[in-house]
Structure 1
Amino acid sequence: MTLYLGAFALCLVLGVPIAFSLGLASLVYLLATGHAMLLMAFPQKIIAGIDNFVLLTIPFFILAGNLMNAAKLTQQIVRLAQLMVGRVQGGLAAVTVVASMLFSGVSGAATAEASALGSMMIPAMRRDGYAPAYAAALTAAGSLLGPLVPPSLALILYGVLTGTSIGDLFLAGIVPAVLLCGLLVAYTLWKARREDHPLPPPLPAEARRGVAARALPALLLPVIIVGGIRSGVFTPTEAAAVAAVYALLIGTVFYRTLSLAQIREAFFETATLSAGVMLVVAMASMTSFILGIENIPQAIARAVLGFTQSPALLVVVLNVVLLVLGFFLEPLAALVLAMPILNQLAPITGLDPVQFGVMVVFNLMIGMITPPVGLCLFIVSAIGRVPIDKVSRAALPMIGLCILVLLLVGFVPQLSLLLPSLFHR
């Protein structure tokens, strides 16, 4: 296994994309350890890793988000956020967080939020006198709300890998997302008073009229998804297809902002991003196969249990390990790689599978705003034209708030299980 890890680390250092790093490291391992006969299983395992009907939800939800973005719904959502929280000192920063929360039900991905909202809010905050690094860091932190709110791609993948109800996972992420949103808003208001941030001008009367009505169709998307799944009207895969059709209809009929060229571009971006996600999942499946050959999950489980058998301490240890893993790996790849081990340890923690899933996904997503490979950090750094080290330092207090919510998810079951339990009554 040391050979595999060495080959994988070398590929990453050389700048090889993570999906190909996983595949090349697997080939090196099979050839160097006398398992050349298993090379015949390589394509079979890769195909088996993505041969799951529920995985069709990923391209459909990505398409829905891309169509919503192309329809310029970001402006409607930002205006609604301005109407809700904009008239306080430091209100533009609070608007950024609330807009992230509202936009989460459209995008389902942190990177989509960081790029869509960042391109609008970071320049606006800079014009109002906010420090560029703070504006970029706040946008990156707010983007973590996306993977917690339906349609979250990471929660879908976790549900596929573990057989956990995707509908329950969608519901379970909502309360932690609201809590994180509230903490980030409170932080922005505290910082506004401390650093005397400006009071934004009021929205013009003509801009206020009909703001909620114009934003409502976009905000109904997560309600349709979760409501349809929980009521049994459609499966998660069907819900994703419905979401894509709904996004296409409101973009062309209600908002009338989608042109044929934009629709083609949305389909192209969806194909590109979906292919990347599926390639990572496929290659990581081969790595999981190698872990099984070496009995690594069982060995790690025994080692952890030798260290502690306390469920509470085990939760802390798992969170620390996952945080470190998220520093270096893209979240979806880290999730596929870690699941064979986590499946061994999850029952010992005593956590509900839905609660455990929200904790694991949110933990790995924190890596999106931490160096050295935090993708959201790179996105907001490029948009704001701020060195990434400055953005990283400005994000530290917000990362602390994220870790606080993570610990609450791990140790307060009702935080994530309240809504699923209500729908099961």
Structure 2
Amino acid sequence: MTLYLVAFVLCLILGIPVAFSLGLASVAYLFVNDQWHLMIGFPQKMLAGIDNFVLLTIPFFILAGNLMNSADLTRQIVRLAQMVVGRVRGGLAVVNVVASMMFSGVSGAATAEASAIGSVMIPAMRRDGYSAAYAAALTAAGSILGPLVPPSLSLILYGVLTSTSIADLFLAGIVPAFALCGLLIVYALWRARVEDHPLPPMVPREERGEVALKALPALFLPVIIVGGIRTGVFTPTEAAAVAALYALVIGWLLYRTLDRRKIARAFYDTATMTAGVMLIVAMASMTAFILGIENIPRSIAAGLRGISEQPWVLIILLNLVLLVLGLFLEPLAALVLAMPILNEVYPLLEMNSVHFGVMVVLNLMIGMITPPVGLCLFIVAAISKEPLERVALAILPMIGICLVVLLLVAFVPALTLTLPAILGG
């Protein structure tokens, strides 16, 4: 297994994409261990890894998010957030966080949220006198709200890999997302008081009705997704298709900002993003096969049991491992790579599968805003034209806030399980 890890890390250092790094490391392992005959089944195992009907939700939800972005939804959401919470000192920073929370119900991916909200809010905050590094860092921190609420791609993939109810996972992430959003707002208000941030301009009274009318239909999307699944009107896969159709209809008929060129571009972007996700899942299935050959998951579970039998100690150790993993791998790749091991460790923790899933996803999302490979950090640094190290320094207090929420999620099950229980999960 050491050979596999060395080959995998070497491929990453050479700049080879994660999906191909997984595949090449698997081939190297089979070849050196004189098991090259197993490569005959390589294509079948790749196809088996993605042969799951529920995975169809991923391209449909990506398409819904791309259509919403193409319909210029981001500006509508920012205007609504400004109308609702903007009239306080440092209000533009609060608008940034609230807009990220609102946009979470559309995108489902942290990178999409960082680029969409960042392209609007970072220039606006700079013009209003905010530090560019602070504006970029706040945008990056707010972007991890997206994968915690429906339609979260990471929660969907976790549900597929563990046969956990996707509707329950969607509901379970909502309260932690609001907790993180609230703490980021408190931090922004405190920072505004200390640094004397300005008051943003007020949305004119005569425009408020139009602003609400344009933004609310898009914010209704997560209600359709969760409500439809929970009431049994449609399955998660059907909910994803309905979300894509809903996005197309309101962008074309209500906002009137979608044309054929934008729709074609949204479908093209969806195809390329979906291909990348599915390739990672397919290649990682070979990694899971190798882990099974080496009996690595059970060995790690036995090793953890040898360290301590106290669930709280194991939870802390697991969180530390996941945080380190998230520093170097994109969340979907890390999730597929880690699940064979996590499935063996999970029974030792005495946790509900839904609770465990939200904790795992939040861990990996924090890696998206943490150096050295925090993808969201790269995105906001590019938008703000600030050096990555300055943005990374500015985001450190916000990473601390994220870690506080992570501890609450890990050790207060009610934070994730109350909402699914109330709504019949």
- TM-score class, shorter-chain normalisation, is over 0.9
Q: Is 1:9 the equivalent of 2:6?
A: no
SS at match of 1:394: helix
User: What is the correspondence of 1:141-290 to structure 2 with a 5 Å cutoff?
Assistant: 141-290=141-290
Deviations 1:345-370 (A, max 9, x none): 11111111000000001101111101
Deviations 1:54-100 (A, max 9, x none): 00000000000000000001111101100111000000000000000
Per the alignment, residue 384 of structure 2 pairs with 384
Taking the aligned partners of 2:142 and 2:206, their CA distance within structure 1 comes to: 28
Per the alignment, residue 91 of structure 1 pairs with 91
Taking the aligned partners of 2:339 and 2:309, their CA distance within structure 1 comes to: 20
Q: Is 1:364 the equivalent of 2:360?
A: no
Deviation at 1:121, TM superposition (A): 0.2
Taking the aligned partners of 2:80 and 2:261, their CA distance within structure 1 comes to: 28
One-letter amino acid of the counterpart of residue 43, structure 1: P
Taking the aligned partners of 2:341 and 2:25, their CA distance within structure 1 comes to: 19
Taking the aligned partners of 1:335 and 1:385, their CA distance within structure 2 comes to: 31
Taking the aligned partners of 1:25 and 1:207, their CA distance within structure 2 comes to: 57
One-letter amino acid of the counterpart of residue 78, structure 1: V
Taking the aligned partners of 2:53 and 2:235, their CA distance within structure 1 comes to: 11
One-letter amino acid of the counterpart of residue 145, structure 1: L
Task: Please give the TM-score of this superposition, normalised by the length of structure 1.
Answer: 0.99
SS at match of 2:264: helix
Taking the aligned partners of 1:99 and 1:338, their CA distance within structure 2 comes to: 32
Taking the aligned partners of 1:140 and 1:264, their CA distance within structure 2 comes to: 28
Q: Is 1:101 the equivalent of 2:95?
A: no
Taking the aligned partners of 1:152 and 1:98, their CA distance within structure 2 comes to: 18
Taking the aligned partners of 2:384 and 2:60, their CA distance within structure 1 comes to: 30
User: What is the correspondence of 1:322-361 to structure 2 with a 5 Å cutoff?
Assistant: 322-361=322-361
Taking the aligned partners of 2:126 and 2:340, their CA distance within structure 1 comes to: 45
Per the alignment, residue 33 of structure 1 pairs with 33
Deviation at 1:409, TM superposition (A): 0.6
Per the alignment, residue 75 of structure 2 pairs with 75
Per the alignment, residue 411 of structure 1 pairs with 411
Per the alignment, residue 135 of structure 1 pairs with 135
Deviation at 1:214, TM superposition (A): 1.6
Taking the aligned partners of 1:83 and 1:351, their CA distance within structure 2 comes to: 41
Deviation at 1:199, TM superposition (A): 1.0
Deviations 1:203-246 (A, max 9, x none): 12333233222211100100000000000000000000000000
Higher mean C-alpha deviation, range 38-47 or range 184-193: 38-47
Runs of 5+ consecutive residues of structure 1 not aligned to the other structure: none
SS at match of 1:405: helix
Taking the aligned partners of 1:146 and 1:355, their CA distance within structure 2 comes to: 18
One-letter amino acid of the counterpart of residue 373, structure 1: V
Deviation at 1:329, TM superposition (A): 0.6
Taking the aligned partners of 2:223 and 2:193, their CA distance within structure 1 comes to: 36
Taking the aligned partners of 1:274 and 1:35, their CA distance within structure 2 comes to: 31
One-letter amino acid of the counterpart of residue 4, structure 1: Y
Deviation at 1:251, TM superposition (A): 0.5
Taking the aligned partners of 1:182 and 1:39, their CA distance within structure 2 comes to: 50
Taking the aligned partners of 2:178 and 2:383, their CA distance within structure 1 comes to: 26
SS at match of 1:209: helix
Deviation at 1:173, TM superposition (A): 0.3
One-letter amino acid of the counterpart of residue 363, structure 1: N
One-letter amino acid of the counterpart of residue 163, structure 2: G
| TM superposition outliers: structure 1 runs of 4+ over 6 Å | none
Taking the aligned partners of 2:97 and 2:224, their CA distance within structure 1 comes to: 23
Per the alignment, residue 53 of structure 2 pairs with 53
Per the alignment, residue 308 of structure 1 pairs with 308
Q: Is 1:42 the equivalent of 2:42?
A: yes
SS at match of 2:144: helix
- Aligned sequence identity (%): 72
SS at match of 2:74: helix
One-letter amino acid of the counterpart of residue 362, structure 1: L
Deviation at 1:42, TM superposition (A): 1.0
